[in-house]
Amino acid sequence: MNTEVEPGAGSPFPEVHVKQEYAEIQKWAREFATREILPVAEKIDRTDEYPLQLQKKMGEYGLLGISVPQEYGGLGLDLMGAVVVGEEIAKASLSASFLMGVQNGLAANVIAKFGTSEQKSKYLPRLAKGESIGAYGLTEPGAGSDAAAISTKATNDGQGYVINGSKMFITQGMVADVVVFFARTGAAEDGAAGITAFVVEKGTPGFRVGQKLEVMGARGTGTAELVFEDCRIPPSNVIGHPGDGFLIAMTILGESRIGAAAAAVGVAEAALEQSMAYVKKRNIFNRPLSKYEAIRFMIADMATRISAARLLTLHAATVQASGGDFMKEAAMAKYFASETAVWVCERAIQIHGGYGVSKMLPLERFLRDAKILDIVEGTSEVQRWILSRELLDR
């Protein structure tokens, strides 16, 4: 039995309905995903080992510097371009899309938008080429959805900052050369106002990787705990201004939520493509499965929800590109797309019956990956809270 459907094969969504330049970018990303990612996607999930060779190829191809300005070695695409690429990469492997999303959309994006010219020159070219691996450290053991509650402390002793604390569930943390992270420079009662953004490099005394964390989806992405024990970093490692860290974090997370929505669309579409291919060739009671109304309606519902999720995602990227406030649109796209991915993957498994719950097909991987997207970059509950605030309290 064929265990994997080539991305785009038999897809009801052959092209995104945007400018021709984005359709060309989509084709470029799809070709790479088919050639380089799809053959190793199952192995990455099964072994939970970081795919360093794939990471290098992605860097050489330009995928790790999608939005990094061209002057620093990136492709300089806008968020719409990153969304189109992200969907195609996630369709082949969510793990691979995490490599791109964390490197480009989180770590490099913070430095590109808020870093000094020296920080940009030092870090961005290597991040864009994949010569350095980046990570983004916000979540802590006691601060996930409530990011303002982080307790990692950065004490200014007049010569620099001394960092103490830990970060949890950090994608690429096991292998990161450069980590953008957030620590409290003010008092706990200052809340969001007392947080500052920093950058730290691997090998800095007092900074180390803690335990590797095995997660159910997006495996092979080096998820780990990061530990700071009297870690001293110079004032030049501050990103932006002291006290601006929470604003920086939320700005970047707003954009990355649109990226997460695109990834969810990719995972959902992969499950739909698998299902469409299966029902056309599977016979039951001497009829193709595709001839049964219950199955046909299920496929129709799956395609409709995916299309709606994609349109919400593209709309959020469009609003972001206009320079307006896009937090409401990002929250809508992220929660609807991630919940759609879970819903679609569940029905894809139902359609496949015994094959669906086996590891002969990638559907159970798709479902595990989809559920990860329902949590990361802010849970669906957090997105609904953001939406209710934007709709009712403004």
Q: Which residues are designated catalytic?
A: 377
Structural tokens at position 49? 């080992």
Structural tokens at position 350? 């139902």
Structural tokens at position 92? 């082949």
Q: CA nearest 239: which of 124, 393, 343? A: 124
User: Half-sphere exposure of 20 toward its Cβ, with a 13 Å CA cutoff?
Assistant: 0
Structural tokens at position 214? 């095995």
Query: Alpha-carbon distance 256 to 253, whole Å?
Result: 5
The separation between CA 110 and the C-alpha centre of its own chain, rounded to angstroms, equals 15
With a CB cutoff of 8 Å and minimum separation 6, the contacts of 339 are 374, 380
Query: Alpha-carbon distance 60 to 37, whole Å?
Result: 14
Query: Alpha-carbon distance 94 to 91, whole Å?
Result: 7
Q: Indicate the SS3 state at residue 253.
A: helix
Query: Alpha-carbon distance 88 to 279, whole Å?
Result: 23
DSSP string, 298-336: HHHHHHHHHHHHHHHHHHHHHHHHHTS--HHHHHHHHHH
